[in-house]
Copies of this chain bind each other. A is one copy, B any other.
Amino acid sequence: MPDGVPPVVPEDGLTARERRLRPALVVNTGEGKGKTTAAMGLALRAWHQGWSIGVFQFVKSGRWVSGERAALEALGAEHDRTGAGGPVEWFASGQGRGWVRKPEDAPDPAQAARDAWAEVALRLADERHQLYVLDEFTYPLTRGWVDLAEVVATLRDRPGTQHVVVTGRGAPPELCAIATTVTEMRKVKHPFDSGQKGQAGIEW
C-alpha cells in the first residue's frame, strides 16, 4: 500500500493541499478480471468519506441485481437512515428507472448509451456527485455510440472536485491521456480458460 508520499514533487505551483484534492480520473482497462470490482472498492472508500456516489452501468442489464449493486444500495440506504457514509444512486441500462428505458422500450443500445452519457454530463455540470463510476463505458466509446471527443472534453473540463472511474476493455488512448490513473488488468490465468463457469459471488 502506498503511504501517500509521491516520489516526485512537480513544479506546478500547487500547494500540497491543492495537489491532494486534485480530482482523479481513474481508468480500469485490460482483458483481466477486477475492472468493475476495483471501481466498486473505490466506491466503498468514497462512501466512507461521505461522498455522493453515482454509478452508471453502461452495458450490464438492470434486470437482475448484481452483488455490488445490492451492497452499495444497502450502504446508500444506511446513509439515508443514519447519516453514516454517503448517498448512492445507481443507474443500469434496461431497468426502466430514470433515464434508461426498459429493454422492450429501448431497442437501440446506442441511443440508451447516449442518453446515459447525457445524464452523466448534466450531473457533472451540476456537480451532483463526488464520485462517478462509469462502468463498462469504454464499450459505447469504442463502438462510436457516444462521441469520444465530447466525452474527453467534458471529463477534462469538469468543474470542482469530482472523481470519475471508467471501466472496460480497450480504453481509448484519448481517454487515458487525460486520466490521472490508468491500470491494465492483465489476465495471467482466468477460470473460464479452464472451463470454469461463472459463479454467483465471484462473477456477479
Interface residues of A (CB under 8 A from B): 1-10, 12, 16, 19-22, 24, 26, 28-30, 32-42, 44-49, 51, 59-60, 65-68, 70-72, 74-75, 78, 84-85, 130-131, 136, 163, 176, 179-204
Other contacts beyond A34-B185, A183-B188, A186-B186: 15, CB < 8 A = A4-B203, A9-B195, A16-B197, A19-B195, A26-B202, A40-B41, A44-B44, A44-B72, A47-B70, A74-B75, A74-B85, A75-B75, A176-B189, A180-B191, A184-B185
Copies of this subunit: 2
Across the interface, A183 reaches (CB within 8 A) one of B187, B198, B199, namely B187
What is the distance, in angstroms, from A68's C-beta to the closest C-beta of chain B?
A: 4
Distance, CA A194 to CA B14, complexed state (A):
13
